[in-house]
Structure 1
Amino acid sequence: MLMAGFNSLMGLLFLAMLVLAVVALVFAVVAREDAYRAADKQSKQFWLIILGITVVVDLFLPMLFLQIAGLIATVVFLVDVRPALQQVSGGGGGRGRRGSSSDGPYGPYNGGR
């Protein structure tokens, strides 16, 4: 019974690693090629190959060492490369917007002036 629980936990971890790799691969495909150069990161082709291999390994080769290496590459892409690409591309969903401390939800508050 303990082994069955452990196996289901490991299955969930492997599934989470696969989903994370697929999400990173989609983000890598969507990003523009020139953004990689402008952000001074590896080329788009490099990341597509690395993340594609990670997805294939997670799907078909249950070798823990290769899966952990792919997880590291996926995390590096999501934590380092993707934010740099967003910054260069002008994206980021408004998270990078710096406003005044008097800004309200509809714009700056001018005190009734």
Structure 2
Amino acid sequence: MILYAQQLIYFALFFVVFVLAVWALGDAMTRPTGAFTSAGKRTKNFWLLLTGAATAVAFVAIPAPLGLGLLSFLALGAAVAAIVYLVDVRPAIRPYSGRRGGRGKGPGGRTPPRGGW
């Protein structure tokens, strides 16, 4: 019983690392190239290569029911790459992305009305 719980937790941790890496890669692909250099970060190609490699390593490291279970010791590096992108780079390039909506616009995430009375 405990063995199954340990295997489930082990699988869940590796799956979370994979999801984080896919999220970081997807976000990096949708951002404009100029946003990275405008924010003072490395180039878009660098982050695409790093998060792409992190995604591949994280997928290979997922245990046997879904992945291959190989190179599991490298999953820590994949997690670090994805987390650095999501925590440091993504917030820095967000203002330069040219996207509208979401957070920081006003109360409740809405754009405040323009004009007077």
TM-score normalised to structure 1 length: 0.79
Divergent runs of 4+, >3 A: 105-108
Q: Partners in 2 of 1:78 and 1:91 — Cα distance? A: 17
Give the number of the structure whose alpha-carbon radius of gyration is greater.
Answer: 1
CA contact (8 A) 1:86 1:92 kept: no
The residue aligned with 2:53 is 53
The residue aligned with 1:30 is 30
CA RMSD across the alignment: 2.3
Match of 1:97 among 97, 105, 110: 105
The residue aligned with 1:68 is 76
Are 1:42 and 2:42 counterparts?
yes
Are 1:13 and 2:13 counterparts?
yes
How far residue 106 of structure 1 moved from its aligned partner, in angstroms, is: 6.8
Q: Partners in 1 of 2:55 and 2:91 — Cα distance? A: 21
Match of 2:92 among 59, 84, 93: 84
Letter in 1 for 2:58: D
TM-score normalised to structure 2 length: 0.77
Q: Partners in 1 of 2:48 and 2:99 — Cα distance? A: 20
CA contact (8 A) 2:106 2:112 kept: no
Q: Partners in 1 of 2:113 and 2:29 — Cα distance? A: 35
Q: Partners in 2 of 1:67 and 1:12 — Cα distance? A: 13
CA contact (8 A) 2:17 2:58 kept: yes
Fraction of identical pairs, as percent:
34
Q: Partners in 2 of 1:93 and 1:21 — Cα distance? A: 24
How far residue 65 of structure 1 moved from its aligned partner, in angstroms, is: 3.0
CA-to-aligned-CA distance 1:51-97 (integer Å, 9 cap, x gap)? 11111111124333311111111011111111111112243634223
